[in-house]
Amino acid sequence: MMKYLIIMPDYTTSCLRDAFEGPIKVEELKLPREFIRELSYWHDLYRKIIPLDDEARAMRIEEIERLDNKGLELAKKLKDLVPGGAKVKYYSEGKSQFLPID
């Protein structure tokens, strides 16, 4: 069954959301361990951006760009890794907007 997922950094919960049901645990998707580690590492780095105000984010725009590029790469991988297929969107917390994946 097709899943509709969003990769979206979050300070307190999973960075993966079901578009209809909210946050989901990464382990529920039966993804390869290496991908889960990669996603978790990226999310830990992005969590440092979440509490920053706009001015602080502007000063760290290069870091946000790198994190978003990695997040987009992870979103592309996720589409192919989810059993049954998935449509994936990516939300940049640093820019407060969805970014196109392709």
Amino acid letter for position 91: Y
pLDDT surpassing 90 at residue 1: no
Give the residue, 62 or 27, on which the prediction is more confident: 62
The residues that bridge with 97 in the sheet, in sequence order, are 92
Q: State the pTM of this model.
A: 0.94
Per-residue model confidence (pLDDT) at position 102: 79
Q: Say how far apart CA 64 and CA 45 lie, in whole Å.
A: 10
